[in-house]
Chains A and B, each alone.
Chain A
C-alpha cells in the first residue's frame, strides 16, 4: 500500500493522505487529474473493482466533494479518491469508459446533486425521480421537511419531539446546557 501511494505521489498532485485502516487510504486529487489517476490505478496497479462514486455537499465552502472508492481484489486493498469541484458550475469529467456501472452513478449524481458529467450515457434521463421541478434534493439547501409539509397534506395531531430537548425536560430538568 505504501509503495503504491509513494508511486502515485510522484506522478500526480495528491494531498491530504489519511490512513483509515491498514488496507484503506483516502487521498485528495486535483479535479483535472482525477480521471487519469483512476485510469492509472485501474490499468497499472490492479484496482479493477469500482466500489462507489458519491458526492458530499460542503455548502459552507461552496464546493462539492466527489469520492471514488476503488478496490484491488487481489491485494485486498482499497483507495478512496476525493476531488473538489466548484458548487456553482458543478461539472466533472466522466469516467464511464472505465467501468459500465459508473454511468449509473453519474446519472444519479446528475439528478440528485445536479452535477453534470458531459458525455456520460443517458445522463440526462431521469433515474429515480419523476417530474421533479425543484432544486436537486440531495443539495444541502433543499429543505425536505418544508417541502413535505407544503406538498403532502400532513395529518394534524402528529407531534414530534426532539429527543434531546424532550429527555432533558423530562429527566434532567435541573441540568444546564
Chain B
C-alpha cells in the first residue's frame, strides 16, 4: 500500500502470517492459534475522534480485520423529537452533531419550511449563509491542522484551536453562544449583525490567512508528515458510489461533488467559488482538499459580508409556534457540511409533532462500512490518522 521510495520503509509483510479468506472475502481468524491479537481502540482512547471504538484484529502490527462499534453517544434523538413540538425540536436537533451545529439547524429549519411552504426573506438567507460558512470555517480550523496532531505534531492543532476560538468569539457576538447557536430558526434567523461585526470579522480573517500561510511551512513541508500521509489510507475511486462517499473524501478521489454547487441552496448561486478536486485520494490529498476548502470559505465569508444588505426582514410570518400544525407530507433537505452531504428526512402527519425525523450524516457511511474496509492491511500506527482524515463524527452516526 505504501509507495515510499526509501528502502527502510519498503519492507514486505510476511504474507504467510495472513489468515485465509472465506468465500465472502472475510479473513478466518482463529484467536486460539496465538498468531493474532485482538485489541480495542476506544472508547477511552485519546486517539479516537469522539466516542467510538474499533475492534482490531492484528497480525504483527498489520490489521487483518476491523469492526466499528458505535452507540456510546446514543441519546435517541429521533424518538425524542417525535415528542417535541416543531419549535422545541430545533433545540434538540442541533445537538445531533456537536462540532458543526449550524448544519443541523439549517437542515431542520429548511425541512419545516419546506413542509409548511414558508418563504424565507432575503436578509435571512444571507445571514444563514454567513452562519453556515462561519461554522465550516471553525470546523476546518480544527481539523486541517488537527491532521498533524494525529502524527504527534501537536503545535498545528493547538494553534488552529486558538484561531478557531476567534471565530467562536464572532459567533458569540452574533448569536450569544459559542458552540450551540440556535441562530437559524424555522422561518428565518434570530438577529442582525451587531455593529462593527464586519470590521472585527475582517481582522480575524486576516489572522486565518496568515495562519494558512504559516502551516504551509509547519505542516506541509514537514518530511515526517509527508512520509506518514502520502500513499496511506487510499480510497479507490470505484468505492465512491459503492460506499456512499461524499464531500471532501469524494472530491479527493476525483469526483466533483459539492451540494453548494450541485443543488444550490440559500445564496450560494450568487457567490463565486470553485470546487477543487484531486486524484491521489490519500490522507495528504484529503487534507490538501480541506485546506483548499478553508481558503474558499474565507473568501466566501468576505464575499457574503460585501454583498449582503444592511437591513431587511429577518423572519417570515409563521403561525403561532405553540399551535403550529403541519399537514401531512414528507421531505428531504440537504446541505454541505464540512464533511460532505448532510441531510434530513422529515415526515409530518398533520399534528403538532413530527412523525419521523431521520438524519443522514456523512460519518454514517465513512466511519462504519468504509473505515472497516480501509483499515484492512493498514498499519496500526496509521489507524488514527486514517480515521481523522475521514473526519468521522460519532454523534451523527448513532444520534
Contacts and interface: CB of A to CB of B under 8 A. Distances in A.
Contacts of B331: 20
B329 to A, nearest CB: 8
Interface in A22-56: 23-24, 26, 48-52, 54-56
Given A100-B373, A163-B88, A138 B263 contact: no
How would you classify the secondary structure of chain A's contact residues: helix, strand, loop or mixed? mixed
Interface stretch (B74-82, B177-185, B301-309): B74-82
A129 interface: yes
Interface in B233-252: 241-244, 246
Interface of A: 20, 23-24, 26, 48-52, 54-57, 65, 67, 69, 73, 76, 78, 80, 99-101, 103-104, 121, 126-130, 137-138, 140, 142, 144-145, 163-164, 167-168, 177
Contacts of B377: none
Nearest to A104: B368
A145 B83 CA distance: 9
Nearest to B399: A128
Contacts of A69: 332, 345
Nearest to B324: A164
Contact of A99 (B76, B244, B358, B373): B244
B359 to A, nearest CB: 9
A135 B398 CA distance: 18
Given A128-B74, A163-B85, A163-B88, A49 B241 contact: yes
A129 B332 contact: no
A167 to B, nearest CB: 6
A57 B354 CA distance: 12
A22 to B, nearest CB: 10
B355 A56 contact: yes
B356 interface: yes
A54 B345 CA distance: 9
A73 B347 contact: no
A129 B399 CA distance: 12
A48 B332 contact: no
Please give me the 5 A-B residue pairs with the lowest Cβ-Cβ distance, nearest first.
A128-B71, A54-B358, A48-B241, A101-B365, A52-B360
A145 B82 CA distance: 12
B85 A164 contact: yes
27 contacts: A20-B331, A20-B332, A51-B341, A51-B343, A51-B360, A56-B330, A56-B347, A69-B345, A73-B241, A73-B262, A76-B262, A78-B332, A80-B330, A99-B242, A100-B243, A100-B244, A100-B370, A100-B373, A127-B70, A128-B74, A129-B74, A130-B71, A137-B79, A144-B80, A145-B83, A163-B85, A164-B322
B322 A52 contact: no
Given A137-B76, A137-B79, A52 B343 contact: yes
B257 interface: yes
Interface string B312-349: 00000000001100000011100000000101010100
B79 A138 contact: yes
A48 B246 CA distance: 12
B18 interface: no
Contact of A67 (B79, B243, B330, B398): B330
Interface string B238-276: 000111101000000001010000110000000000000
Contacts of A168: 322
Given A121-B24, A130-B71, 20 more contacts: A20-B330, A20-B332, A49-B241, A50-B244, A51-B244, A52-B332, A52-B358, A55-B356, A56-B356, A67-B345, A73-B257, A76-B263, A80-B330, A99-B243, A127-B71, A128-B71, A129-B74, A142-B79, A144-B79, A144-B80
A177 to B, nearest CB: 8
Nearest to B366: A101
A124 B152 CA distance: 39
Contacts of A164: 85, 322-323
A175 to B, nearest CB: 11
Nearest to B74: A128
Contacts of B106: none
